[in-house]
C-alpha cells in the first residue's frame, strides 16, 4: 500500500476521550473510528490487524477439530423463549421488532441458535461429538462501553459450541478447547493465563477465563509465578496426547479472579510466588451440560436405544478486544510494536527523499519484492514525519532509504520491537523481513 494513496487518517493530537493507551494508539494510528457509543468502524490498518487475529483464531479452532459456520446476527425472540433466557437476559440485549411486529434481537451470544441448528441434524450417537464455531459480530448494550474496542457494544467474537453424548465426552471437548486457547493466544505473542471461573448452578470446575495481565485490565487477579513461567506452546501438546494430564499441568497452580479468589489457599502459597495484578479477559470456556439441550428438546438416540440430551459447552474469544489487548501488551511512547504474527503489515519502506532517482528506484524495487505485506511511505513529507508515523503504526520492520545509502546500494533496517538498526544491503533486508 502506498501511503500517498492510502486511507490512513492518523491523528497528531492525543484524543481526549481515550483513557487507555491501546484506545489512544488505535485512534492516533487511524485504525478505528467511533460511529456511536461503543460502536466502531475498522479502517484499513485496523481491519488488517483484526483479520490477522481472526485468522489465528480460525486456524487453531480448525486444528482442534471444530468446524466453521456462520450464523446470523439477527435472531428470533422465540428461540430465546424456548431456552427461558429471553426475559432473564435483561437490558444488555438489543430487542428489535420487524415490520410484522415479530420480536427479534441482535445476538449477544448464540447458544439458542446453534442448538436449534444442531437439533435439526442430530439423530443418533453417530452424529456426536461435533464442535461448531463462528466468528461473528455480537451486540451487548453495555452500561458503560469504554476503552475503545476493549468494551464495545458491537464487537467481534469467536464462539464455539460442543455437543457430546456423555459428560466424559464433553470434558474431552472442553480440554481440546482449553489447549487450543493456549496455542491461540501464544501465537499472538500473548501470555494468557487460564483462571478458574464461576460455573453457577452447574457446579464443577469446568469453566475458565483466559486472562492477560495488564495494568489497565478490568479484573483483579491472583496468580502463582509458576504459572507465569510456563511456556504455552511447549506445554500444549498435540490433541492425541493425554489431554487431561496436559490441562492438569495448567490447572494445578493457583490462578483466580477476585470472584473466585480463596484467601486461605492464597496464603499457603510462598510469598515470593504470589502475583496480584490487573487482567484483561480475552477468552472464556464453559461446560454447561444439558442447560440448553433439555429445554430446547435436543435429543439423540444412544447406542443402547435410549434417548439422551447432548452435553454441551461453549467457548468464546473476544477477537476485536484482542486487538486492543495486544497493543496494551506491546507499545512504547512512540506507538504500537506489533508482534510479527498479527502485524497489519510486515514492513514499511521509508523513502527519505522523494524525487531522488536512486531513492525512488530502490524503494520501488524493495516495495515490489515485499508485495501486499508492505506499506510504502512515498509521501512528500519530511523524514521526521515518516519516522514518527512508522513508529506509531508499529510495523515490525522499517526499511529506511536515504539518498547517500541508495547511491551505495545500502539501506537501514530497523526492528520496531527492539529498536535495533543495522545498515545492510537491500537483499539482506528482504531476506530478514521475509525470514
What is the contact surface with ligand ATP in residues (CB under 6 A)? 109, 140, 142, 151-152, 155, 157, 281-284, 316, 318, 320-321
Question: Do 178 and 170 touch, CB atoms closer than 8 A?
Answer: no
Interface stretch with Mg ion, choices 22-30, 179-187, 277-285, 422-430 (CB under 5 A): 277-285
CA dist 22 and 329 (Å) reads 9
Interface stretch with Mg ion, choices 216-224, 256-264, 276-284, 427-435 (CB under 5 A): 276-284
Q: Which does 157 bind (CB under 5 to 8 A by kind): Mg ion, ligand ATP, none?
A: ligand ATP
| Closer residue to ligand ATP (CB): 221 or 374 | 221
Q: Which does 345 bind (CB under 5 to 8 A by kind): Mg ion, ligand ATP, none?
A: none
Q: Which does 207 bind (CB under 5 to 8 A by kind): Mg ion, ligand ATP, none?
A: none
CA dist 367 and 358 (Å) reads 14
Q: What string of DSSP letters covers 176-223? A: HHHHHHHHHHHHTT--EEEEE---GGG-SS-EEEEEEE-TT-SEEEEE
| Closer residue to Mg ion (CB): 142 or 226 | 142
| Closer residue to Mg ion (CB): 138 or 284 | 284
CA dist 424 and 433 (Å) reads 12
Shortest reach from residue 400's CB to Mg ion, in Å: 44
Q: Which does 430 bind (CB under 5 to 8 A by kind): ligand ATP, Mg ion, none?
A: none
Shortest reach from residue 153's CB to Mg ion, in Å: 16
Shortest reach from residue 197's CB to Mg ion, in Å: 7
Strand partners, 158: 135, 317
Shortest reach from residue 152's CB to ligand ATP, in Å: 4
Shortest reach from residue 30's CB to ligand ATP, in Å: 21
- Kindly report the backbone phi and psi dihedral angles of residue 350, in degrees, each rounded to the nearest multiple of 5, phi listed first: -105, 115
Shortest reach from residue 104's CB to Mg ion, in Å: 25
Question: Do 397 and 415 touch, CB atoms closer than 8 A?
Answer: yes
Strand partners, 207: 286
| Closer residue to Mg ion (CB): 157 or 296 | 157
CA dist 330 and 327 (Å) reads 5
Q: Which residue has the cell 493456549?
A: 182
208 interacts with Mg ion by CB under 5 A:
no
Binder among 151, 284, 346, 386 for Mg ion (CB under 5 A): 284
3-state secondary structure of 409: coil
How far CA 233 is from CA of 29, 192, 252, 399, in Å, comes to 31, 12, 18, 31
Q: Which does 151 bind (CB under 5 to 8 A by kind): ligand ATP, Mg ion, none?
A: ligand ATP
Strand partners, 155: 138
| Closer residue to ligand ATP (CB): 142 or 428 | 142
Return the C-alpha cell found at 219: 479484573
| Closer residue to ligand ATP (CB): 155 or 338 | 155
Shortest reach from residue 155's CB to ligand ATP, in Å: 4
Q: Which does 346 bind (CB under 5 to 8 A by kind): Mg ion, ligand ATP, none?
A: none
| Closer residue to ligand ATP (CB): 135 or 433 | 135
DSSP state of 416: T
| Closer residue to ligand ATP (CB): 211 or 406 | 211
DSSP state of 43: P
- Kindly report the backbone phi and psi dihedral angles of residue 32, in degrees, each rounded to the nearest multiple of 5, phi listed first: -140, 160
Return the C-alpha cell found at 225: 509465578
CA dist 208 and 342 (Å) reads 25
Shortest reach from residue 198's CB to ligand ATP, in Å: 10
Measured at the CA of 73, the angle between CA 286 and CA 41, to 5 degrees, comes to 105
| Closer residue to ligand ATP (CB): 150 or 392 | 150
Shortest reach from residue 359's CB to ligand ATP, in Å: 43
Closest residue to ligand ATP, based on beta-carbon distance: 318
Chain residues in the site for Mg ion (CB under 5 A) = 284
Amino acid at each position: 500500500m502506498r501511503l500517498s494513496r492510502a486511507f490512513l487518517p492518523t491523528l497528531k493530537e492525543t484524543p481526549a476521550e481515550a483513557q487507555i493507551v491501546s484506545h489512544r494508539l488505535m485512534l492516533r494510528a487511524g485504525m478505528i473510528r467511533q460511529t456511536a457509543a461503543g460502536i466502531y468502524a475498522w479502517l484499513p490498518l485496523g481491519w488488517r490487524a483484526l483479520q490477522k487475529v481472526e485468522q489465528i483464531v480460525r486456524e487453531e479452532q480448525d486444528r482442534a477439530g471444530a468446524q466453521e459456520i456462520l450464523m446470523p446476527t439477527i435472531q428470533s425472540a422465540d428461540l430465546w423463549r424456548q431456552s427461558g433466557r429471553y426475559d432473564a437476559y435483561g437490558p444488555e440485549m438489543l430487542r428489535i421488532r420487524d415490520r410484522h411486529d415479530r420480536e427479534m434481537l441482535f445476538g449477544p451470544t448464540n447458544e439458542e441458535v446453534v442448538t436449534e441448528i444442531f437439533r435439526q441434524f442430530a439423530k443418533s450417537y453417530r452424529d456426536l461429538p461435533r464442535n461448531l464455531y463462528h466468528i461473528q459480530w455480537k451486540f451487548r448494550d453495555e452500561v458503560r462501553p469504554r476503552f475503545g474496542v476493549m468494551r464495545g457494544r458491537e464487537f467481534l467474537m469467536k464462539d464455539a459450541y460442543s455437543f457430546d453424548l456423555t459428560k466424559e465426552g464433553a470434558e474431552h471437548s472442553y480440554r481440546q478447547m482449553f489447549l487450543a486457547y493456549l496455542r491461540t493466544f501464544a501465537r499472538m505473542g500473548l501470555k494468557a493465563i487460564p483462571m478458574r471461573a464461576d460455573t453457577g448452578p452447574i457446579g464443577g470446575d469446568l469453566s475458565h477465563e483466559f486472562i492477560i495481565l495488564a495494568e489497565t485490565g478490568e479484573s483483579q487477579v491472583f496468580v502463582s509465578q509458576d504459572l507465569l513461567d510456563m511456556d504455552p506452546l511447549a506445554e500444549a501438546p498435540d490433541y492425541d496426547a493425554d489431554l487431561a494430564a496436559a490441562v492438569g499441568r495448567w490447572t494445578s497452580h493457583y490462578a483466580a479472579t477476585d470472584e473466585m479468589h480463596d484467601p486461605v489457599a492464597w496464603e499457603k502459597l510462598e510469598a515470593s510466588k504470589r502475583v496480584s495484578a490487573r487482567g484483561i479477559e480475552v477468552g472464556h470456556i464453559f461446560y454447561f451440560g444439558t442447560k440448553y439441550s433439555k429445554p430446547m428438546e435436543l435429543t439423540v438416540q444412544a447406542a443402547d436405544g435410549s434417548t439422551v440430551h447432548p452435553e454441551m459447552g461453549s467457548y468464546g474469544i473476544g477477537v476485536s478486544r484482542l486487538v486492543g489487548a495486544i497493543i496494551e501488551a506491546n507499545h512504547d511512547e512512540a506507538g504500537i510494536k506489533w508482534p510479527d504474527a498479527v502485524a497489519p503489515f510486515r514492513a514499511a519502506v521509508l523513502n527519505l527523499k522523494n524525487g531522488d532517482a536512486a531513492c525512488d528506484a530502490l524503494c520501488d524495487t524493495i516495495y515490489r519484492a515485499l508485495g501486499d505485506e508492505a506499506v510504502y511511505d512515498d509521501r512528500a513529507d519530511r523524514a521526521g514525519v515518516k519516522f514518527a508515523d512508522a513508529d506509531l503504526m508499529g510495523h515490525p520492520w522499517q526499511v529506511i532509504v536515504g539518498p547517500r545509502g541508495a547511491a551505495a546500494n545500502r539501506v537501514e533496517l530497523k526492528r520496531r520491537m527492539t529498536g535495533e538498526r543495522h545498515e545492510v544491503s537491500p537483499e539482506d533486508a528482504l531476506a530478514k523481513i521475509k525470514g
